[in-house]
Amino acid sequence: MKSRGPLLTLLLAGAFGLCVGPFYWLAMAATQDDKDVFSWPPKLLPGGHLMENLQGLQDSIGLTRVLFNTVLVAGLQTVGAVVVSVLAGYAFAKFDFRGRNLFFVLLLSTLVIPDTVMLIPIFQMMMDLGMIDSYESVILPGLVTPFGIFLMRQALRSMPDELLDAARVDGAGELRVLWRIVIPVNRPIIAALALFVFLGGWNQFVWPLIALRSPEMYTLPVATATLQGLSTTNYAQVLLASAIAAIPVMALFLVLQRQFISGLLAGATKE
Protein backbone atom coordinates (compact mmCIF):
# COMPACT_ATOMS: atom_id res chain seq x y z
CA MET A 1 0.00 0.00 0.00
CA LYS A 2 2.79 2.42 0.92
CA SER A 3 4.43 2.19 -2.49
CA ARG A 4 1.33 3.45 -4.25
CA GLY A 5 2.11 7.11 -3.59
CA PRO A 6 5.37 7.32 -5.57
CA LEU A 7 4.01 5.14 -8.37
CA LEU A 8 0.87 7.25 -8.78
CA THR A 9 2.93 10.42 -8.58
CA LEU A 10 5.17 9.11 -11.34
CA LEU A 11 2.19 8.21 -13.55
CA LEU A 12 0.65 11.65 -13.05
CA ALA A 13 3.97 13.29 -13.80
CA GLY A 14 3.94 11.30 -17.04
CA ALA A 15 0.47 12.57 -17.88
CA PHE A 16 1.68 16.08 -17.04
CA GLY A 17 4.57 15.65 -19.45
CA LEU A 18 2.31 14.44 -22.26
CA CYS A 19 0.02 17.42 -21.73
CA VAL A 20 2.62 20.15 -21.28
CA GLY A 21 5.48 18.75 -23.39
CA PRO A 22 3.98 19.83 -26.73
CA PHE A 23 3.76 23.42 -25.45
CA TYR A 24 7.41 23.41 -24.54
CA TRP A 25 8.29 22.17 -28.01
CA LEU A 26 5.96 24.80 -29.52
CA ALA A 27 7.66 27.61 -27.62
CA MET A 28 11.05 26.40 -28.82
CA ALA A 29 9.96 25.81 -32.41
CA ALA A 30 8.54 29.33 -32.62
CA THR A 31 12.03 30.72 -32.12
CA GLN A 32 13.68 28.67 -34.88
CA ASP A 33 14.59 29.59 -38.39
CA ASP A 34 11.95 28.22 -40.79
CA LYS A 35 14.26 25.61 -42.27
CA ASP A 36 15.06 24.26 -38.78
CA VAL A 37 11.43 23.55 -37.87
CA PHE A 38 11.53 20.30 -39.80
CA SER A 39 15.05 19.27 -38.90
CA TRP A 40 15.84 15.93 -37.30
CA PRO A 41 16.10 15.59 -34.35
CA PRO A 42 13.54 18.25 -33.34
CA LYS A 43 15.07 21.39 -31.84
CA LEU A 44 14.40 21.53 -28.13
CA LEU A 45 16.40 24.65 -27.26
CA PRO A 46 15.64 28.30 -28.09
CA GLY A 47 16.66 29.21 -31.60
CA GLY A 48 17.17 32.98 -31.54
CA HIS A 49 14.90 33.81 -34.48
CA LEU A 50 11.95 35.03 -32.42
CA MET A 51 12.17 38.68 -33.52
CA GLU A 52 12.60 37.73 -37.16
CA ASN A 53 9.53 35.46 -36.99
CA LEU A 54 7.49 38.16 -35.26
CA GLN A 55 8.43 40.60 -38.02
CA GLY A 56 7.54 37.96 -40.58
CA LEU A 57 4.10 37.53 -39.01
CA GLN A 58 3.60 41.27 -39.00
CA ASP A 59 4.31 41.33 -42.74
CA SER A 60 2.27 38.27 -43.66
CA ILE A 61 -0.89 38.59 -41.56
CA GLY A 62 -0.56 42.02 -39.93
CA LEU A 63 -0.06 40.57 -36.47
CA THR A 64 -0.86 43.74 -34.48
CA ARG A 65 -4.11 44.35 -36.32
CA VAL A 66 -5.11 40.69 -36.03
CA LEU A 67 -4.38 40.73 -32.30
CA PHE A 68 -6.39 43.92 -31.92
CA ASN A 69 -9.32 42.29 -33.74
CA THR A 70 -9.16 39.20 -31.58
CA VAL A 71 -9.01 41.12 -28.30
CA LEU A 72 -11.82 43.42 -29.41
CA VAL A 73 -14.10 40.61 -30.53
CA ALA A 74 -13.45 38.38 -27.52
CA GLY A 75 -13.62 41.33 -25.12
CA LEU A 76 -16.91 42.75 -26.36
CA GLN A 77 -18.39 39.29 -26.58
CA THR A 78 -17.40 38.70 -22.97
CA VAL A 79 -18.93 41.94 -21.69
CA GLY A 80 -22.14 41.38 -23.67
CA ALA A 81 -22.57 37.72 -22.83
CA VAL A 82 -21.90 38.29 -19.13
CA VAL A 83 -24.47 41.10 -18.96
CA VAL A 84 -27.09 39.03 -20.78
CA SER A 85 -26.36 35.94 -18.66
CA VAL A 86 -26.38 37.75 -15.31
CA LEU A 87 -29.65 39.54 -16.04
CA ALA A 88 -31.42 36.45 -17.33
CA GLY A 89 -29.87 34.17 -14.72
CA TYR A 90 -31.05 36.51 -11.98
CA ALA A 91 -34.58 36.53 -13.39
CA PHE A 92 -34.66 32.73 -13.65
CA ALA A 93 -33.21 32.27 -10.18
CA LYS A 94 -35.09 34.82 -8.12
CA PHE A 95 -38.35 35.77 -9.82
CA ASP A 96 -41.53 33.96 -10.60
CA PHE A 97 -43.05 34.92 -13.87
CA ARG A 98 -45.26 33.52 -16.52
CA GLY A 99 -43.43 31.39 -19.05
CA ARG A 100 -40.33 31.08 -16.91
CA ASN A 101 -39.96 27.33 -17.06
CA LEU A 102 -40.99 27.08 -20.68
CA PHE A 103 -38.42 29.62 -21.82
CA PHE A 104 -35.72 28.13 -19.65
CA VAL A 105 -36.27 24.67 -21.12
CA LEU A 106 -36.35 26.07 -24.66
CA LEU A 107 -33.11 27.88 -24.03
CA LEU A 108 -31.37 24.81 -22.64
CA SER A 109 -32.66 22.56 -25.39
CA THR A 110 -30.67 24.57 -27.94
CA LEU A 111 -27.59 23.10 -26.29
CA VAL A 112 -28.18 19.78 -28.04
CA ILE A 113 -28.65 21.39 -31.45
CA PRO A 114 -25.32 21.55 -33.24
CA ASP A 115 -24.17 25.09 -33.91
CA THR A 116 -23.68 24.14 -37.52
CA VAL A 117 -27.47 24.05 -37.96
CA MET A 118 -27.54 27.77 -37.36
CA LEU A 119 -24.58 28.75 -39.53
CA ILE A 120 -26.37 29.19 -42.84
CA PRO A 121 -29.41 31.23 -41.71
CA ILE A 122 -27.19 33.47 -39.61
CA PHE A 123 -24.85 33.89 -42.57
CA GLN A 124 -27.79 34.84 -44.81
CA MET A 125 -29.15 37.20 -42.17
CA MET A 126 -25.78 38.92 -41.91
CA MET A 127 -25.57 39.13 -45.70
CA ASP A 128 -29.04 40.71 -45.90
CA LEU A 129 -28.10 43.21 -43.21
CA GLY A 130 -24.84 43.99 -44.99
CA MET A 131 -22.94 43.02 -41.87
CA ILE A 132 -20.68 40.34 -43.30
CA ASP A 133 -17.01 41.11 -42.73
CA SER A 134 -17.73 43.31 -39.70
CA TYR A 135 -16.94 42.97 -36.01
CA GLU A 136 -20.67 42.88 -35.22
CA SER A 137 -21.21 39.83 -37.38
CA VAL A 138 -18.74 37.88 -35.26
CA ILE A 139 -19.72 39.30 -31.87
CA LEU A 140 -23.53 39.31 -31.95
CA PRO A 141 -24.30 35.58 -32.32
CA GLY A 142 -22.11 34.85 -29.31
CA LEU A 143 -23.99 37.09 -26.90
CA VAL A 144 -26.63 34.56 -25.86
CA THR A 145 -25.01 31.55 -24.26
CA PRO A 146 -27.42 29.00 -22.79
CA PHE A 147 -24.52 27.70 -20.74
CA GLY A 148 -23.87 31.13 -19.24
CA ILE A 149 -27.49 31.70 -18.34
CA PHE A 150 -27.66 28.24 -16.81
CA LEU A 151 -24.48 28.81 -14.79
CA MET A 152 -25.73 32.16 -13.48
CA ARG A 153 -29.13 30.75 -12.57
CA GLN A 154 -27.50 27.93 -10.61
CA ALA A 155 -25.19 30.31 -8.81
CA LEU A 156 -27.74 33.00 -7.99
CA ARG A 157 -30.28 30.50 -6.70
CA SER A 158 -28.11 29.75 -3.71
CA MET A 159 -28.19 33.41 -2.69
CA PRO A 160 -30.53 33.90 0.31
CA ASP A 161 -33.72 35.82 -0.50
CA GLU A 162 -33.42 37.62 2.84
CA LEU A 163 -30.36 39.43 1.54
CA LEU A 164 -32.27 40.86 -1.40
CA ASP A 165 -35.35 41.65 0.67
CA ALA A 166 -33.30 43.47 3.27
CA ALA A 167 -32.05 45.79 0.58
CA ARG A 168 -35.56 46.27 -0.78
CA VAL A 169 -36.84 47.15 2.67
CA ASP A 170 -34.16 49.77 2.82
CA GLY A 171 -35.76 51.25 -0.24
CA ALA A 172 -33.36 50.06 -2.89
CA GLY A 173 -34.82 49.78 -6.39
CA GLU A 174 -34.39 46.61 -8.38
CA LEU A 175 -31.48 47.96 -10.38
CA ARG A 176 -29.74 49.00 -7.21
CA VAL A 177 -30.29 45.57 -5.65
CA LEU A 178 -28.75 43.99 -8.71
CA TRP A 179 -25.79 46.35 -8.84
CA ARG A 180 -25.09 46.63 -5.13
CA ILE A 181 -25.94 43.14 -3.85
CA VAL A 182 -26.32 40.48 -6.53
CA ILE A 183 -23.24 41.33 -8.55
CA PRO A 184 -20.77 41.96 -5.69
CA VAL A 185 -21.88 38.85 -3.79
CA ASN A 186 -21.42 36.67 -6.87
CA ARG A 187 -18.29 38.26 -8.22
CA PRO A 188 -16.19 35.03 -8.27
CA ILE A 189 -18.65 33.04 -10.34
CA ILE A 190 -19.24 36.00 -12.66
CA ALA A 191 -15.48 36.22 -13.12
CA ALA A 192 -15.44 32.52 -13.94
CA LEU A 193 -18.15 32.99 -16.54
CA ALA A 194 -16.27 35.94 -18.02
CA LEU A 195 -13.19 33.73 -18.34
CA PHE A 196 -15.11 30.99 -20.10
CA VAL A 197 -16.71 33.39 -22.54
CA PHE A 198 -13.43 35.14 -23.24
CA LEU A 199 -11.72 31.84 -23.86
CA GLY A 200 -14.48 30.78 -26.24
CA GLY A 201 -14.36 34.11 -28.05
CA TRP A 202 -10.58 34.11 -28.28
CA ASN A 203 -10.48 30.62 -29.75
CA GLN A 204 -13.63 30.61 -31.91
CA PHE A 205 -12.96 29.60 -35.47
CA VAL A 206 -15.74 28.30 -37.72
CA TRP A 207 -18.06 31.28 -37.57
CA PRO A 208 -15.35 33.97 -37.92
CA LEU A 209 -13.91 31.93 -40.80
CA ILE A 210 -17.26 32.25 -42.55
CA ALA A 211 -18.20 35.78 -41.49
CA LEU A 212 -14.88 37.53 -42.10
CA ARG A 213 -13.65 38.17 -45.62
CA SER A 214 -10.81 40.63 -45.61
CA PRO A 215 -7.46 39.79 -44.01
CA GLU A 216 -7.44 43.01 -41.97
CA MET A 217 -10.61 41.83 -40.20
CA TYR A 218 -9.30 38.35 -39.39
CA THR A 219 -9.01 37.09 -35.86
CA LEU A 220 -5.91 35.16 -34.81
CA PRO A 221 -7.30 31.61 -35.37
CA VAL A 222 -8.62 32.55 -38.82
CA ALA A 223 -5.37 34.26 -39.80
CA THR A 224 -3.35 31.31 -38.53
CA ALA A 225 -5.40 28.75 -40.43
CA THR A 226 -5.22 30.85 -43.59
CA LEU A 227 -1.48 31.20 -43.26
CA GLN A 228 -1.12 27.47 -42.81
CA GLY A 229 -3.12 26.78 -45.95
CA LEU A 230 -0.61 28.55 -48.21
CA SER A 231 1.82 26.48 -50.23
CA THR A 232 4.70 28.77 -49.28
CA THR A 233 3.92 28.49 -45.60
CA ASN A 234 6.63 29.60 -43.25
CA TYR A 235 6.07 27.08 -40.48
CA ALA A 236 8.11 28.92 -37.89
CA GLN A 237 5.68 31.80 -38.30
CA VAL A 238 2.60 29.59 -38.16
CA LEU A 239 3.87 27.98 -34.98
CA LEU A 240 4.66 31.36 -33.48
CA ALA A 241 1.10 32.46 -34.29
CA SER A 242 -0.20 29.37 -32.49
CA ALA A 243 2.02 30.09 -29.52
CA ILE A 244 0.73 33.66 -29.41
CA ALA A 245 -2.83 32.29 -29.47
CA ALA A 246 -2.09 29.88 -26.62
CA ILE A 247 0.03 32.02 -24.29
CA PRO A 248 -2.42 34.75 -23.17
CA VAL A 249 -5.14 32.28 -22.20
CA MET A 250 -2.66 30.22 -20.25
CA ALA A 251 -1.39 33.28 -18.44
CA LEU A 252 -4.97 34.28 -17.67
CA PHE A 253 -5.63 30.79 -16.39
CA LEU A 254 -2.56 30.75 -14.18
CA VAL A 255 -3.55 34.04 -12.59
CA LEU A 256 -7.23 33.20 -12.16
CA GLN A 257 -6.99 29.46 -11.66
CA ARG A 258 -9.22 29.34 -8.61
CA GLN A 259 -12.15 31.13 -10.25
CA PHE A 260 -11.75 29.03 -13.34
CA ILE A 261 -11.91 25.68 -11.62
CA SER A 262 -14.69 26.76 -9.26
CA GLY A 263 -16.77 27.96 -12.21
CA LEU A 264 -16.22 24.69 -14.00
CA LEU A 265 -17.26 22.79 -10.90
CA ALA A 266 -20.29 24.96 -10.23
CA GLY A 267 -21.52 24.23 -13.73
CA ALA A 268 -20.81 20.54 -13.41
CA THR A 269 -21.96 19.57 -9.97
CA LYS A 270 -24.87 21.73 -8.91
CA GLU A 271 -27.90 19.53 -9.51
Nearest to 241 by CA among 260, 259, 221, 271: 221
The least distance separating other proteins from the CB of residue 263, rounded to whole angstroms, comes to 11
Closest to other proteins by CB, 22 or 48: 22
CA angle 128–129–133, rounded 5-degree value: 100
The alpha carbons of the chain give a radius of gyration, in whole angstroms, of 23
Given the rule CB under 8 A, which of 50-58, 61-69, 86-94, 184-192 is the region that contacts other proteins? 86-94
What distances in angstroms separate CA 233 from CA 35, 42, 229, one per listed residue? 11, 19, 7
Would you count residue 42 as binding other proteins (CB under 8 A)? yes
Angstrom distance (rounded) from CA 198 to CA 263: 14
Would you count residue 129 as binding other proteins (CB under 8 A)? no
Total residues at the site for other proteins (CB under 8 A)?
Answer: 98
Angstrom distance (rounded) from CA 178 to CA 158: 15
Would you count residue 5 as binding other proteins (CB under 8 A)? yes
Residues 217-236 that bind other proteins (CB under 8 A): 221, 224-225, 228, 235
Q: Is 92 helix (H, G, I), strand (E, B) or coil?
A: helix
Would you count residue 91 as binding other proteins (CB under 8 A)? yes
The least distance separating other proteins from the CB of residue 214, rounded to whole angstroms, comes to 16
Closest to other proteins by CB, 51 or 95: 95
Would you count residue 166 as binding other proteins (CB under 8 A)? yes
The least distance separating other proteins from the CB of residue 151, rounded to whole angstroms, comes to 13
Residues 53-82 that bind other proteins (CB under 8 A): none
In terms of C-beta distances under 8 Å and separation of at least 24 residues, what long-range contacts does 119-122 make, across chains too?
Answer: 119/206, 119/207, 119/210, 122/207
Nearest to 126 by CA among 243, 208, 234: 208
The correct pick among 71, 72, 144, 159 for binding other proteins (CB under 8 A) is 144
Contacts of 117 (CB under 8 A, 6+ apart): none
Binding track, positions 167-206, relative to other proteins; x by CB under 8 A: -xx----x------------------------x--xx-xx
Closest to other proteins by CB, 95 or 184: 95
Would you count residue 128 as binding other proteins (CB under 8 A)? no
Closest to other proteins by CB, 12 or 187: 12
Would you count residue 159 as binding other proteins (CB under 8 A)? no
Given the rule CB under 8 A, which of 34-42, 51-59, 130-138, 183-191 is the region that contacts other proteins? 34-42
Burial letters for 7-38: b for 16+ Cβ neighbours within 10 Å, e otherwise?
A: eeeeeeeeeeeeeeeeeeeebbbbbbebeebe
The correct pick among 50, 71, 79, 87 for binding other proteins (CB under 8 A) is 87
